[in-house]
Amino acid sequence: MLEMNTRKGGKPIARKTGGAGRNRKAGAPTNAKPTRSTTKKTDSPTAKSTAKPTVKPATDGKKVTDRDKRKYIDFKQRVKKGDPMPKFNEDAIRLNKYLSNAGICSRREADVLIQTGVVSVNGELVTELGFRVKPTDVVRYDGGTIRAETKRYVLLNKPKGFITNMDDALGRKTVMGLVMKACKERVYPVGRLDRETTGLLLFTNDGDLEKKLTHPRFKATKLYHVSLDKPFKREHMERLLEGIDLEDGKTVYDKVEYVKENQVKSV
């Protein structure tokens, strides 16, 4: 059995333990355990402790990397990386959103107007895209003062025979003719229903809500009640769940079931 001990110089020495040792002093007990010195080595007697973080030394001979050093740095002293957290100020909104809410144009078109230098805030031209305006600011465009519209939400039980478009080049009836007198603000349909489809249709000028309901990233669920002129069999359900290839992509359905078990023409 070998035991490692360290002298004052710091060089490890291996000595044999167990049995009668040569250099054992007379009268020393045979079962005496080696004692370990608790004296700590200091660079100078007047050395003072500092508040700097210490790095744990590598005991296995590996090189200490920058990643290892960061583990032992105090949390308050760590360097924050990345962009700062956004400040949530509901009173101040981006200028392009302000123009869009006022019904002037879309946000992308508003960016072009801002960069062109035709929009002023409180009498000063603004060309910065990220510029924010407050409700008390005076925004002018094309010689007139712009006021943000109140957000409106209109629900329509769409009948058959109307297409879900703002206008139609063929002169067909659109859903906009049904809600044109619902409010003075200009609203847009959220999503679309086919010409012969009936059901709930939402109109709004709230662009944020429209994005949350229609963008695939938010995964908004839509429920359809379909009535058929012939029975809808179980194999039809399986084929529908597998997906059907259409011109604009493949259909995706989470669940298909009968409205009532004895009504095989309604799903």
What tokens does 147 get? Answer: 């006021």
Q: Which of 142, 194, 206, 254 is catalytic?
A: 194
| Architecture of the 153-218 domain | 2-Layer Sandwich (3.30)
Pick from 210, 192, 209, 186: nearest CA to 156: 192
E-strand ranges in 79-172 read 93-94, 119-121, 124-125, 132-133, 139-141, 144-146, 153-158
Query: Is 194 noted as a catalytic residue in this protein?
Result: yes
Q: Give the pLDDT of residue 15.
A: 53
How do residues 182-236 score in pLDDT, each as one tens digit? Answer: 988 888 899 888 898 898 999 998 877 888 888 888 888 888 888 888 998 888 8
Buried b (16+ CB within 10 A) or exposed e, 201-238: bbbbbbeeebeeeeeeeeeeeeeeeeeeeeebeeeebe
CA–centroid distance for 111 within its chain: 24
Q: Give the pLDDT of residue 121.
A: 92
CA 260 vs CA 231, 263, 266, 267: distances in Å:
13, 5, 8, 8
- 13's enclosing H/E stretch is strand 12-16
In CATH, the number for domain 93-146 is 3.10.290.10
Distance separating alpha carbons of residues 210 and 220, to the nearest angstrom: 11
- Strand 199-204: give its sheet, edge to edge: 153-158, 199-204, 188-190
Domain locations in the chain as residue ranges? 93-146, 153-218, 223-267
Which residues are CB-neighbours of 46 under 8 A, at least 6 positions away? none
Residues of the chain with confidence (pLDDT) below 70 = 1-62, 68-91
Distance separating alpha carbons of residues 191 and 214, to the nearest angstrom: 6
pTM above 0.75, yes or no: no
Gyration radius from the chain CA atoms: 38
